Amino acid sequence: MLRESILEEMLSTYDKRFPPHYNDIIPVKVKVQMYVLSVFEIDASEMTFSISMFLRQEWVDRRLQFETKDNLSKIEVDNEITKEIWLPDLAFKSDTYTYFHELTRPNTLMIIYPNGKVVYSLRVTGKFTCYMDLTKFPFDEQHCPVELESYGFTNSIISFRWSQPAVVYREGVKHSQFELGEPQSYTCDQIYSTGNYSSIGVTLPFIRRYEFYLIQIYAPSVLIIMLSWVSFWLNVDAIPARISLGILTVLTISTNGNMSVSMAQRVSYIRAIDIWNSVCLILVFCAVVEYAYVCVSVRVHQRRKSDISSSDIEICNQHKEMKHELQSEKQSERSYDQLETVTARTVDKISRVLFPCVFFIFNCVYWLYYMT
């Protein structure tokens, strides 16, 4: 009965149409805090993220002061009574869709203290806009803002400020693809044609977990690159083996790159994973070109040798006296044949060292740049 009598007495003369201090110069100071329940649907394709939270507000309304009796330190107000009390017109600026939970009843809470302090909390789930920069994908870190402001009152009537801490994560809140960083709160009062409005914001850092990409994209790429180097150790005459190996590695690295592209939003700029895939494809392609160069060099020499041998036989039949000179030419030809084979093997030996060194240098530059 004590609570009922106090509420009836307060609300008998209370007018919710006007905010506290409406006729005073001092604005109503409203402290805001977000208690985040879950973070989900961080979508790079739509540039949005969704969170569910308890949105807490706290202010002082002197019209709700009451005397403490029988150790009554606070009054918890039902949702129906909440409708009879003035509430701040807090609005989200960057949301695309927001709804208030009403199962099984509207999820709201209000507590009134003897000095007129009002604590108001409601459960909100919303989808917010976040313009993401994927230049360093999958090593990117997104900073997504959530901004709130008064929609109908200027800062001479209502002043919003963050409680400290501004954002509190519920224990155990995690995301499958991102780590939740330390939020950074700020004030961002806005000036419109109708006046100056109190506005506050908080930046939520989302740090992408890249372990999945290391296992599914980077590690297979390294193995495929190393597999392409096997051709440098095969004999020059092993044409089917080297060609099959080259085609296999090119197709595999292309498939691996296409899979990585499908894992994120297609953008018009170059990402870290695009650089990796491009360099890996170039290295595998160069390994194929290297063998093509070696193979063509040997075959051109063999055709020349065949042509010279045929002409030598005709000359030998027509001119017996030139037999000694032809033998000298054949010896010279055999020396040239050996030289060509040695040259081809030398190219393979150089490639055995050159390709791993180039790939090692690229890895040093790549990982130092994107991981520091």
215-269 pLDDT, tens digit per residue, is 999 999 999 999 999 988 888 777 788 888 888 899 989 888 888 777 777 788 8
pLDDT digits (tens, 9 = 90+) for 286-344: 999 988 888 777 776 666 666 555 555 454 555 544 545 445 444 544 554 555 566 77
**Is the pLDDT confidence value at 53 over 70?**
yes
Distance CA 167, CA 158 (A): 21
**Is the pLDDT confidence value at 367 over 90?**
yes
Distance CA 6, CA 81 (A): 13
Instruction: Express the helix, strand and coil content of the chain in percent, nearest 5 each.
Output: 45, 30, 30
Tell how strand 90-92 and strand 28-43 pair up: unpaired
Q: Which amino acid is at 224?
A: I
Give the DSSP H/E element, type plus range, for residue 232: none
H helical segments located in 262-322: 272-318
pTM of the model: 0.80
Question: 171 — phi, psi (to 5°)?
Answer: -60, 130
- Exposure on the CB side of residue 197, measured as CA atoms within 13 A: 18
Q: Which residue has the tokens 């939970």?
A: 101
pLDDT digits (tens, 9 = 90+) for 120-178: 999 999 999 999 999 999 999 999 999 999 999 999 999 999 999 999 999 999 998 99
Question: Tell me, what DSSP letter sits at residue 55?
Answer: E
Percent of the chain with pLDDT over 70: 88
Structural domains of the chain ordered from first start: 2-208 (2.70.170.10), 211-371 (1.20.58.390)
The pLDDT score that the predictor gives to residue 218 is 95
